Structure formats: C-alpha cells, structure tokens
Amino acid sequence: MPLSKGALAGVKVVDLTRVLGGPYCTMILSDHGADVIKVEPPQGDETRDWGPPFDEEHNASYFLGVNRNKRGLALDISKPAGREVLMRLLRDADVLIENFKPGSMEKWGIGYGSLEPLFPKLIHCRVSGFGAEGPLGGLPGYDAIVQAMVGLMSINGPETPLRMGTAVVDMTTGLYSTIGILMALQERTRSGQGQFVDMTLHDCGMALLHPAAANFLMNGKRPKATGNPHSNVTPYDAYPTATCQIFLAIGNDGQFRKLAAAIGKPDLADDPRFASNALRGANREPLTAVLIEAFATEDGHALSDRLAKLGLPAGPVLHVDEALAAPHTAARQMVTELDGYRALGTPIKLSRTPGGTRSIPPKFGEHGPAVLGELGYSEPEIAGLIDEGVLYTKRKR
C-alpha cells in the first residue's frame, strides 16, 4: 500500500475510456493519487470479457490489470439524463479523458468546443486512432493495425511482418497521454486555463520508430527487420549458452574491450575486424561465431551476473513467469498485491509521495449510487435513473 496520498491527490479525472490506451493512462494517474471515476457504457468495458483467465466474478485479467484505484459507475451518455450526470461530474473535474470515435462527443453536444466555455479550466484529452483531420481522420484505430501502418511490424522480428507481443502502441499512447495531461495541468497553474489534448495511436506509434526513421531520414535506405541484432550497434544480440540465452548490448569500444577480457579473449579487441563499432557491424557474422563458441559451456545466469557486475550490459533472456518471480522484481515492488488482487506495480518511484495500489479494480457500476450521491442526487432520483436505463448497476447484455 502507498504511504502517501500521492503526488496527484486532489486531481479529479472523469474517465470515459475503454480497452487499453485510455485506461492505462488513467491507472497511472490513479496510482499517484488522482480520483479517477471510470464511467463505463451500459455494456461495460469490453475488456471485462477478454479472457480467459477470469476471476470469480468473470472479470478478465486484461481488465483487472489496468483498472485499479478507480471508482466505477455505468452511465448511458447517449441519453440526455446521462449527459446531465456527466455535466455534474465535470463541475469540479480537472481532467476529462475519452476515446470515442472523433465526432461522437460533438454529436451529443459535449465536444471540447461545447465544454470549454462551460468549464474553462478543464483539460479534455481525446485518445483516438488517427485524430479528426487528415486522410485517415475519424477512422477507427487498433493497436495491431497501427503497428502495421506506421512501420513497426516491418522492422520487428527475423521475418516480416510481425506484431509485437505486447500492445506497445496502445500502452505508449497511454503513457504519452499521461505526459500530455500532466503538461496541461502544469501550464494551467500559469494561465488558469484548460486545453484540448489530442492523442492518437498513429502519432504515438510513429514516435516509436527510432532509430529506424532517423536512419532512413539520413541515408534514404528502407530499414529492414534484423531480429534481435541492432541495426546500429554490434554486438547487440541474444546468444546461446549451456543453460539459457543471454542478451548483450555492447555500446562502445571500451565495453567491447572489457567483454573480450572477461571471456578470456583479450586479443579480440585488437582484431582489425572488430576494432570499432562500425567494423564490428561490418563483420557481424564472424564476431557472432566467436561469441557463441566462447559462451557454449557457460551457465548463462552466472555469466550474465558476472558481466553485469563488470559494468557490461548483459542479462539472461527470461520467460514472463521467471521475470515476475525474480528477486529484483520483488525488491523494486513491481508485483503488487491487495486483498487477493495481484498485478504489476507502478514503475514511477517518488521519494516523498510514492504511489501504488490503493484499491482493487471496481466491479461494474460499483460506485455509481455513491458518486451520484456526492453530486447531490437523492436516493429516489438515483433509483429513477436506474429505472430509466440511465444509470446501470448490472451490465446490459
């Protein structure tokens, strides 16, 4: 449990997002003290169904992994009474984040242009696939589709195209959205004004193309997939040992000299084929053969540990279960647990205002009546909204 209220205590976030990019952003904010009110549609966030595995209430691990520390209510904002509830929520909110298709909020009369005069200090973050303008404006976007369209698949894997094994575009969009929101909050302390934060999977996916884009913009050559090896640095690859694969990332000549000495082959550093990074890249195959032979009888875990303690970037290639059980994972509190809920911990470590798991992910509509009570709705009014199909406490199927 965190030992502070968090760096973002007092910040109220109304979260209309579903799936991954937006919820990942708001989990980061909530980990650090923001009061995030997750507003789900009547059918619920579809990732509640993205399993197995499921918990005892049939919520998928996919949903549980990115929705802790939030209060949940379910609301049909396509109805005028639902939009009225949303407007009350926004009266004292600092941030509104949504990932509706561009134009949807405007159709309901609650787009940024309509909200800004009413809530001039509100920061409105929209997460979409491609934005509202441009040839692709308004089209739906999904992680794998954007990985394909921005070129990430073309440089991933030994053969192409290959989707990355994690939803890297969605999660990066969540991270960039967090940064954008925090920038807007900081600027508001000077201007007193909110603003619109326009985040797209397309732009955030493009931003991941380093160094492939930088290389192309300099030499005009189409980048190719290289698998584990780095396009610019050698040796930078996974190598077999007697017990496991290890990964090396030798970034300069000094590190290469130290590596050569550590494996009992100091003459490698003076070999004219390997004397500089450019030469090592040009002679990648013979260098790889030398290293594979040198590592063949080594215990990969012990070798990685020995090299790392010499200041060399090296580590064993672990499976997910091994990484989660690693002693350093525990030391860094990167697996969090509360009341039977287990998930990845926050990577943001603040000395005075640490964040972390404060509450488990909300059940569908769990906090709806309580949140509406805080907004001034009476119990009969809340019951009426439930009867009218505006406020939901059970998922609409």
Question: Active-site residues: which are they?
Answer: 170
128 exposed, middle or buried (CB, 10 Å; 0-12, 13-18, 19+)?
A: buried
Assess contact for 231 and 289: CB atoms under 8 A. no
Tokens of 207: 């931003």
* Residue that has been written with the tokens 């603003």 in this structure: 195
What is d(CA 74, CA 366) in angstroms, rounded to the nearest whole number?
8
What is d(CA 271, CA 276) in angstroms, rounded to the nearest whole number?
10
Residue 351's CB is within 10 A of a number of other CB atoms, namely 6
Assess contact for 55 and 348: CB atoms under 8 A. no
What is d(CA 2, CA 375) in angstroms, rounded to the nearest whole number?
28
What is d(CA 213, CA 206) in angstroms, rounded to the nearest whole number?
9
157 exposed, middle or buried (CB, 10 Å; 0-12, 13-18, 19+)?
A: middle
Identify the three-state secondary structure at position 199.
Answer: strand
Provide CB contacts within 8 A for 157, sequence distance 6+.
Answer: 225, 227
What φ, ψ does residue 203 adopt, rounded to 5°? -65, -40
Helix (H) or strand (E) holding 382: helix 379-387
**For the chain, how many residues are written?**
397
Report CA torsion sign: 137, 143, 146, 150: positive
What is d(CA 207, CA 222) in angstroms, rounded to the nearest whole number?
17
Closest CA to 199 of 70, 106, 112: 112
Helix (H) or strand (E) holding 256: helix 253-262
What is d(CA 216, CA 61) in angstroms, rounded to the nearest whole number?
40
